[in-house]
Amino acid sequence: MPTGETVNLKEKVRHLSDKPGVYLMKDRLGRIIYVGKAKNLKKRVSTYFTPSRAMTWHPKIRALIEMIADFDVHEVRSEPEALILEGKLIKQWKPKYNTDFTDDKRFLLVRVDLTEELPRFRLTRFKKEDRSRYFGPFAHSGLLRKSLAQMRRQFGILLGDATPQQRPDGTWQLYDDVRQELYGFENTVTPDAYRARVDDACTFLEGKSREWLETLRAEMLAAAEKQQFEKAAELRDIVFALGKTLAKTRNFERTDPTLALPDASTEALRLLGEVLALKSPPRTLECFDISHISGTFVVASMVAFSDGRPDKDNYRRFQIKSFMGNDDFRAMEEVVGRRYRRLRDEGKPLPDLVVIDGGRGQIGAALKAFVALDLEPPPLIGLAKKHETIIFPDARPPLNLSLHSPALNLLQRLRDEAHRFANTYNADLRSRKIRESVLDDFSGLGAVRRAALLAHFGDIEKLRAAPIEAIAEVPGFGGKLATELHAFLHRAAPATSSFPASLPAPDSAVKSVVN
């Protein structure tokens, strides 16, 4: 590295703070080549530019340092936050010199499925778009498990391994008699009483109620004063675990503005404009993807990025209307036509770049949609996943960028988001169909009455929760049929499958379908 650059980097290090955070090392092209965390940013980053340490460096570290031309830092509030953000950024940028976090291991979350009659508190590493509540992520898995065990004793909640038993009177026995003696709470509850426990436990996980912690601290001090040191030590460990679990750590999602890295996004857009021979960097991008299972439940998604960041207000989901069956090309032509007909009719601008998930056939289908609209298409490319090949609609040959290219990484994030969004919508529709199929087993319910039920209540969950009087108000239903259907729905077990057990609520910032 030239001497002048070394001096500049050392000067930049001198202005760093002593706070915890994450640092991103860049090469001379602005590519992120390493992401690391630090308890003390100034102290940690300075070690990279201390010549006296050079002889002790591993060859891989020496190679990394020789490539460093610049760095960015992100300050956070605590070490656990630094650990979480480091993992998120490594997954996002896939730096050349990082080896940790490449197995896609994620920090634990606590999931509470509120669609269950008796919601349980479960551990998961993935957050889905469903009706569950999620808490976390939590950097200390052992302390989190200890905290949940203590919360079960305090609030009388169910954890993921619990198997409650329903009693003839409709109440539930949560645990066996041994655990009831151990925990000391009322073991037989109504669903409403249990829901109140869940609300208290969720409030505690949100960090909004610390009275219990203060009580435990007081008990710990009292035990120590009475020289009950074993009990005091046990309470100390519980207080420590709960305190660490409740410590505020921000959930650094990939769409978090703090992860957008304005300089890196600007560079990626600039490079993308250059490699695609555009007049200027594309500030607005839209990407289309088709999802189906063997030609059934055919849906499409369109996601939008603005200045390198997801723009969820402009996400769209489509059901295919013009045909039935398996034809990705026709599906792509339909949804592209519907999207840009709407923009044309509303007088809104087209995006700076349209990306199609697929190859030349999908691009051809998209172009047919623009021809049918008599609309000049914006810059348009395809991204074929097998080799991450960029396909052009004109005579230009296919283009393969370096897998570490910021321009390609931006296209990959855009394409992967469209793929995720389409698959989620597909799963939503399948899940809805599976749950509604329970009505097929109720005799005397024809297509007209079935349609009237679903139109009135919206979905099977709301129908199941409706009282007899509400069902009787649906056209074609009387008191007798409503009573029989109500009894049937409460006898029938919810449909089971490998799909989600509840219909995810649409993202509040996303419009579901463009007409």
Distance CA 460, CA 502 (A): 10
CB atoms within 10 A of CB 9: 19
Same domain, 200 and 169: yes
pLDDT digits (tens, 9 = 90+) for 371-412: 999 999 999 999 997 788 999 998 899 999 988 888 998 999
What residues does 305 pair with on adjacent strands?
285, 310
C-alpha radius of gyration, the chain, whole number: 28
- Order across the sheet with 120-124: list the strands: 133-138, 108-112, 120-124, 158-159
pLDDT band for 267, please (50, 70, 90 cuts): confident
Give how many domains the chain has, as a whole number.
Answer: 4
Q: Is 316 helix (H, G, I), strand (E, B) or coil?
A: strand
- The CATH number that applies at residue 373 is 3.30.420.340
- Asked if residue 69 belongs to a domain, the reply is yes
Tell me, yes or no, whether 234 lies in a domain.
yes
Q: DSSP letters of 383-406? A: EETTTTEEE-SSSPPPB---TT-H
Considering only 89-93, 210-214, 281-285, which range has the smallest mean pLDDT? 210-214
Domain boundary among 402, 429, 456: 429
pLDDT at 438: 59
Q: Does 404 share its domain with 494?
A: no
Place of tokens 């289908």: 365
Residue 395 shares a structural domain with residue 444: no
Q: Tell me the CATH number at 497.
A: 1.10.150.20
The verdict on 268 and 360 lying in the same domain is: yes
Question: Does the pLDDT value for residue 513 go beyond 70?
Answer: no
Does 207 share its domain with 142?
yes
| Sheet strands (E) in 125-271 | 133-138, 158-159, 165-166, 172-173, 188-189
Final residue belonging to a domain, choices 192, 216, 246 = 246
* Side-chain-side CA neighbours of residue 329 (13 Å): 9
Decide if 108 contacts 124 (C-beta within 8 A): yes
CB-count burial class (<10 Å; 0-12, 13-18, 19+) for 213: middle
143/208 Cα distance (integer angstroms): 19
Quote the pLDDT of residue 182: 47
CA dist 23 and 30 (Å) reads: 14
What does the DSSP 8-state code read for residue 494? P
Using 50, 70 and 90 to split pLDDT, how confident is the model at 255? very low
| Residue 294 pLDDT | 44
The CA distance from 13 to 393, in Å, is 47
* 124-148 residues labelled b (16+ CB within 10 A) or e (exposed): eeeeebbebbbbbbbbbeebbbbbb
Range list of H helices, 392-478: 406-436, 447-457, 460-465, 468-472
Residue 455 and residue 312: Cα distance in Å, rounded?
Answer: 28
Examine the domain organization and report whether 209 and 64 are in the same domain: no
pLDDT digits (tens, 9 = 90+) for 34-45: 999 998 999 999
**Residue 15, H or E segment:** none
Instruction: Note whether 294 and 416 are same-domain residues.
Output: yes
Rounded to whole angstroms, the Cα distance separating 65 from 60 reads 9
The answer to whether residues 385 and 473 belong to one domain is: no
Could you tell me if residue 11 is inside a domain? yes
In this predicted model, what pLDDT tens digit does every residue of 435-485 receive, in sequence order? 445 566 666 676 677 677 767 776 667 777 888 888 888 887 877 888 888
For residues 355 and 287, the answer to whether their CB atoms sit within 8 Å is: yes
Please check whether residues 240 and 345 belong to one and the same domain.
no
Question: Cα–Cα distance between 16 and 485 in angstroms, integer?
Answer: 68
Last residue of a domain, one of 409, 429, 449: 429
- Whether 31 is covered by a domain: the verdict is yes
Same domain membership, residue 415 and residue 282: yes
Look up the CATH number of the domain holding residue 82: 3.40.1440.10
508 has pLDDT over 70? no
d(CA 30, CA 286): 25
Give residue 30's identity as a one-letter amino acid code.
G
Is 255 within a domain?
no
- Look at residue 512 in the predicted model and tell me its pLDDT: 41
Whether the per-residue pLDDT at 284 is higher than 90: the answer is yes
Within-domain flag for 77: yes
| C-alpha distances in Å from residue 421, one per residue of 137, 425, 459 | 22, 6, 21
Pairing of strands 108-112, 120-124: antiparallel
Do residue 458 and residue 406 come from a single domain? Answer: no
pLDDT of residue 429: 56
Find out whether 22 and 36 touch, Cβ atoms under 8 Å. yes
Range of the domain at 52: 3-93
Q: How much is the average pLDDT of 336-352?
A: 94
Residue 406 shares a structural domain with residue 442: no
pLDDT per residue as tens digits for the range 413-435: 999 888 888 777 656 555 555 44
